[in-house]
A and B are shown apart, each in its own frame.
Chain A
Amino acid sequence: MAQYAYERSRTIHRFDSDMISSPLISSLERAVGAANVFGDSSDLLVYEYDGSVDAAVETSKPAAVVLPQTVEQVAEVVRIARTNNLPIVPRGAGTGLSGGSVAQSGGIVVALTRMAQILDVDYDNRIALVEPGVINLELSDWVKPGGYFFAPDPSSQRACTIGGNVAENSGGPHCLKYGVTTNHILGLEVVDPDGKVRWIGGKGEEQAGYDLTGVFVGSEGMLGIVTKALVRLTPKPETISVQLAAFPTVEGASLAVSRVIGAGILPAALEMMDNLTIQAVEPAFHAGYPMDAGAVLLVETDGVTEDVEDTAREIERICFETGATLVRQAITEAERDLLWKGRKMAIAAMGRLAPSYYLHDTVVPRTKLPQTLSQVDEISKDFDLPIANVFHAGDGNLHPLMLFDRMNKTDIEKVVGASKELIEYCVSIGGALSGEHGIGTEKRDYMTLVYTGEDLAAMAGIKQAFDPNGVMNPEKLFPKGYMCGEVRAHYNAALAQKYGIYPL
């Protein structure tokens, strides 16, 4: 598969360089300056991938990469792409896990890493205006002296960009309480597929009419290119408490999760790690997780000091009731950091157990966590494939980690097979394909598991309204073969069926 992608991208490139590349490259160079355009075959090599797993997403070279520095340059590049009938693929840091910024059908990659200014911070209104290339964690660091932070905290936050967070509607451990990216974006400046610059949303909390900002966040770069984001800043809580609770079984821990949420408690984060994860993490980082525990929970609560204490006592009680053998609380920053270190480095530790790992992102209803985890265990045995579980238990967002060697063909077959079973199971019990990583090319063929033809047609209708020519990040989100002409055809067919014009 990967081989095919490479051959194909070479062919496209050769075609480009012989026939249209030179005029294309020179018009791009006129638009953004020669130093901001890459068109050489070797330069393009490093833009053929993103952070996603080799077995799940094909690599593919674009025809050109531009790194614009102003919104006008972005708009001009989009117009050039239109003239040349080439697709556009927006890209941030390229840490995505669903292939969203890989140029599946060639075209122009617009990398926004050179638009990385924090333009304005307004503490009175708790907002900041930033360019898309700003790194997530650096925005939080920047507003830290003012007592604020940017709440969405994906694990890649030290590298990923705000623009990428908007495209994928990114989450993170603290989204349980604070919500995902869409809850923190007030407005966006975008370049539409026609090359026009538009503002959607704004400083006002409630906008009349359709929530276009809401449509745009999580649209995976398929509706336009974000060139500025007006983001919400969140005040830092007065006190933070982190509790470690160890359980003999995954079931016990899952029950505690349901009970905590059921009791009306809203922790800032509620994370679970199973025994395989503990075995990998504890010897490496000495976070203090009991090696013989079936599962551990990390529960973070924050807010006013007295409330935090009361809530922590209640959580402790629930954990012991559901079979916890140990509950430990960390208050100081150093203690908290140590407990979190194990969780944050968990995937790192996995990387040391196997050359590759495939991180899934399905979501299941919280009450179905125990049965889902035993199903994961069974899939692991059936396919003879180690699977570790480390995940956002509070919102049922699983991250089963399949450990394998990507150079080994048999391993890849196992991963593909086990992934299919896992996803199908999660969907069958009322779950979702992705909590925070997006669909991209990685999971697009699973979309039909969740959505009917009519659902997809409705989504296609939105795509059609923003991008009638299908130039923005094609071959993402919709199932293979469901694009361009087909999107339109399905959309028309669904409309026709609805109004009884003709039967499908």
Chain B
Amino acid sequence: MSVPTSADLKDVGGIVGFTDIDAPEPELLKACVHCGMCLSSCPTYRITGQEMSSPRGRLWLMSAVSQGRLSIDDPLFQEQMYQCLNCRACEAVCPSGVQYGPLVEAARYQIEQRLDRPAKQRIARKVMLDWTFSDMRKMGAVAKMTSLYQTTGLQKVARKSGVLKLLGLSDMEKMAPATRGKSLKPGTEAWTAAEPVRAASLFNGCIMGTAFGDTNRAACRVMARNGANVDIPECQGCCGALQVHSGMFDTARDMARANIDAFEAEPDRPIVVTAAGCGSTLKEYGHLLKDDPDYADRAHDFAGRVKDFSEYVAAENRSTPGPVRRKITYQDACHLAHAQRITAQPRTLLKSIPDLEFVEMRESSLCCGSAGIYNILRPEMARKLGERKVNHIIETGATEVITANPGCAIQIATLLREAGSDIKVTHIADFMDEAYANGEPGAGI
């Protein structure tokens, strides 16, 4: 690897090098020995076949910026830092243990500090990421409006009229989640086990709590059936994943501190999460707040309590599900399979269901293209990946696909619908809830 000299630097032009705060750490960058073992696991490399769209290529570009061989405002650098889905499949296969996620997030933070975005983008990011997600009341209002829009017939009118296309919103509109049940407000509902052996808390999340309230309720029922009294502590909010992924560390840190405060009253309870993307961010609060003297240790403790829904239930295993006579397949959410390395537990849970026919799909752990808000920002790449995923799902002959992340569920459902398929997309919490209900005495199955 070249060490830059002043002669190199003056040639590059533009903005040279990273600033000191929240830069991709040189020690972490150095861990990459460019062996290329990550290439085949990277969705964008698989689609494009080009080196700059690979984890190895992107790390090399980060090194080039830090060495002053490439300017941070080079269009290639910005394109590649944001073309990455941050699915972290590369991390799971890296022989040298490179921590790619934190590196690409830091690179994005650096870009955000130095980049003048056009006004339209700036406002959109502010509204989406700063305003909506940071306050659950606003989030709730957006969810309510979405639900009204979908149920009152306004959606039909809007889709027919062509007004969505005119506003450039048609892809975004299609991706708006079909809401499941009423919003679930923290502090308003609780579940008790028949024979409680422990207490656990649910992390409600933003999308999950508002658009998929019933899925979170199902998760709580499953936890209660497995011996836990479940509460949803008040004052918790969004986890900040989208902000971390978009390089908006300051907003994300505020959100993390609020959540740490919210869950501190009962420090022995595990914090159970129903969204893979949130789980992985919550488990990394320790890294996010490592330089905050008041919160570093507390963030570390908080992160240690976080469990994904399937991770938690598979470990508790205090109840037997009843039969479900269907053929299903399972889609690995990136932030569960790669970032949290949880692939066995959801399969163990599903395979414990009597009569269920479980088939694996090809490339189950290759990203579906959802990746937070990636499918809204980069519909073209997202669509290619989504269609690849949907083809693999249809190929299995299953009538239902199970996943553990709302983003994947929305993306896959949308593209299945477009492909004319009636395969159902179900969150693993809803599916397990059904199976456990079938196991109740007198369930009649």
Residues of chain A touching chain B, judged by Cβ–Cβ distance below 8 Å, are: 2-3, 5-7, 10, 38, 40, 42-43, 45-47, 49-51, 53-54, 59, 67, 93-95, 111, 113-114, 116, 133, 135, 137-138, 156, 158-160, 345, 347-348, 351-352, 355-357, 406-407
Given A49-B34, A351-B95, A356-B33, the answer on whether A159 and B51 have CB atoms closer than 8 Å is: no
Residues of chain B touching chain A, judged by Cβ–Cβ distance below 8 Å, are: 1-3, 5, 7-8, 11, 30-31, 33-41, 49-52, 54, 56-57, 60-61, 64, 69-70, 74, 76-77, 93-97
Which one of B11, B36, B97 contacts A51 once the chains associate, using CB atoms below 8 Å? B36
A27 CA to B37 CA, complexed, in Å: 33
Interface pair A355/B2, CB less than 8 Å apart: no
Count chain A CB atoms within 10 A of each CB in B11, B52, B69, B70 and give the residue with the most: B52
- In the complex, what's the smallest C-beta–C-beta distance from A63 to chain B, in angstroms? 16
Q: Which residue of A lies closest to B27 (CB)?
A: A355
Given A45-B64, A111-B51, the answer on whether A54 and B1 have CB atoms closer than 8 Å is: yes
Interface pair A51/B50, CB less than 8 Å apart: no
Residues of A within 8 A of B36 (CB): 50-51, 93-95, 156, 159-160
Interface pair B49/A351, CB less than 8 Å apart: no
Given A45-B60, A93-B36, A94-B36, the answer on whether A407 and B52 have CB atoms closer than 8 Å is: no
Q: Which residue of B lies closest to A355 (CB)?
A: B30
A133 CA to B52 CA, complexed, in Å: 17
| 23 sampled A-B residue pairs with Cβ under 8 A | A5-B2, A42-B70, A43-B76, A45-B60, A46-B51, A46-B61, A49-B34, A49-B60, A51-B35, A54-B1, A59-B2, A95-B36, A95-B39, A111-B50, A111-B51, A156-B36, A158-B93, A159-B36, A352-B97, A356-B33, A406-B1, A406-B33, A407-B30
A111 CA to B50 CA, complexed, in Å: 9
Residues of A within 8 A of B31 (CB): 351, 355
Residues of B within 8 A of A5 (CB): 2
A38 CA to B52 CA, complexed, in Å: 11
Which one of B49, B60, B93 contacts A116 once the chains associate, using CB atoms below 8 Å? B49
Count chain A CB atoms within 10 A of each CB in B7, B35, B37, B39 and give the residue with the most: B35
Residues of B within 8 A of A49 (CB): 34, 60
Q: Which residue of A lies closest to B52 (CB)?
A: A46
Interface pair B95/A347, CB less than 8 Å apart: yes
Q: Which residue of A lies closest to B57 (CB)?
A: A46
Interface pair B33/A95, CB less than 8 Å apart: no
Residues of A within 8 A of B38 (CB): 159
Residues of A within 8 A of B57 (CB): 46
Interface pair B60/A158, CB less than 8 Å apart: no
Interface pair B49/A345, CB less than 8 Å apart: no
Interface pair A42/B74, CB less than 8 Å apart: yes
A95 CA to B50 CA, complexed, in Å: 14
In addition to A10-B8, A42-B74, A94-B51, 6 A-B residue pairs with Cβ atoms within 8 Å of each other are A49-B34, A51-B35, A67-B50, A114-B49, A159-B37, A355-B33
Residues of B within 8 A of A38 (CB): 50
Given A42-B74, A352-B97, the answer on whether A3 and B39 have CB atoms closer than 8 Å is: no
Residues of A within 8 A of B37 (CB): 95, 156, 158-159
Q: Which residue of B lies closest to A95 (CB)?
A: B36
Q: Which residue of A lies closest to B54 (CB)?
A: A46
Which one of B2, B30, B95 contacts A348 once the chains associate, using CB atoms below 8 Å? B95
Residues of B within 8 A of A113 (CB): 49-50
- In the complex, what's the smallest C-beta–C-beta distance from B118 to chain A, in angstroms? 22
Residues of A within 8 A of B50 (CB): 38, 67, 111, 113
Residues of B within 8 A of A138 (CB): 40
Interface pair A351/B97, CB less than 8 Å apart: yes
- In the complex, what's the smallest C-beta–C-beta distance from B337 to chain A, in angstroms? 16
Interface pair A352/B2, CB less than 8 Å apart: no
Residues of A within 8 A of B34 (CB): 49-51
- In the complex, what's the smallest C-beta–C-beta distance from B344 to chain A, in angstroms? 12
Which one of A40, A53, A158 contacts B40 once the chains associate, using CB atoms below 8 Å? A158
Residues of A within 8 A of B77 (CB): 42
Interface pair A46/B60, CB less than 8 Å apart: yes
Residues of B within 8 A of A133 (CB): 49
Interface pair A156/B60, CB less than 8 Å apart: no
- In the complex, what's the smallest C-beta–C-beta distance from A287 to chain B, in angstroms? 16
Residues of A within 8 A of B96 (CB): 348, 351-352
Given A2-B2, A67-B49, A352-B97, the answer on whether A45 and B40 have CB atoms closer than 8 Å is: no
Interface pair A93/B39, CB less than 8 Å apart: yes
- In the complex, what's the smallest C-beta–C-beta distance from B255 to chain A, in angstroms? 33
